[in-house]
Amino acid sequence: MSSTSTVLADVPLFPLHTVLFPDGLLPLKIFEARYLDMARDCLREKTPFGVCLLKSGAEVARSEEPSIPETIGCLADIEECDVEAFGMLLIRARGTRRFRLLSHRVEHNGLLVGMAEPLGEDMPLEGNELLAKFGACAEVLERIIATIRERDADSLPFAEPFRLEDPSWVSNRLAEVLPIALRARQKLMELQDAGARIDVVHHYMQQHQLL
């Protein structure tokens, strides 16, 4: 399922060893000049940056080893920004929507910039079996939230409101917190079918006796 939205040109990209999902939280400690400039531009112009899992290369730029991002990523808006020390920014970003990279280039300062096509929302959940699995997944996530809140409410990795009635929100949050391999997590983020993602996380939790 693809969106008919306009292609986004010149999206600054942040390749990381992490996968950002829509509505996911991303705390970042920024110290490289290219990303400091990127964050300032995004804050000033109220524009998003793109987060992509690193396919190869390093997060910190090396001329001999370019950073190659995965094709599917997630746009992120900066919600909070603070200066921890001279030349260092602490930001909290939130994922908004997925995109497909059509092309990318490296700017003179080493920043990756891409042309991106926004992707559509998840296909809705259908079928009694998937609805039952979703209910079980939502119960597990509710327990996880309650446990973290009891231990340390400030460490919750999710932003409110908690949309426990939303299959996309529930499956995305479980995909973030379950100890799933990074490449598998990327595949889950790429899915544009809430039912398929629910099916995978439900199967994973069954295998690991979390249900």
Structural domains of the chain, ranges and CATH numbers in brackets: 8-118 (2.30.130.40), 128-207 (1.10.4060.10)
pLDDT of residue 1: 40
pLDDT at residue 6 in the model: 86
Omega before 27 within 30 of 0, i.e. cis: no
Q: Which of 98, 87, 81 is closest to 42 using CA atoms?
A: 81
Cis status, amide bond into 161, omega within 30 of 0: yes
**Distance in angstroms (rounded) separating the CA atoms of residues 136 and 151:** 23
pLDDT number for residue 50: 98
pLDDT averaged over 10-residue windows placed end to end, the chain, 211 residues: 68 96 96 93 96 82 74 97 84 97 91 95 92 96 94 88 96 96 96 96 93 81
What does the pLDDT read at residue 61?
Answer: 56
Q: How far apart are the C-alpha atoms of 73 and 76, rounded to whole Å?
A: 10
* Cα gap 124→168, rounded to integer Å: 8
At 103, the amino acid letter reads S
Output the six-digit token pair for 208. 């690991």
Give the pLDDT of residue 68. 86
| Full-model pTM | 0.91
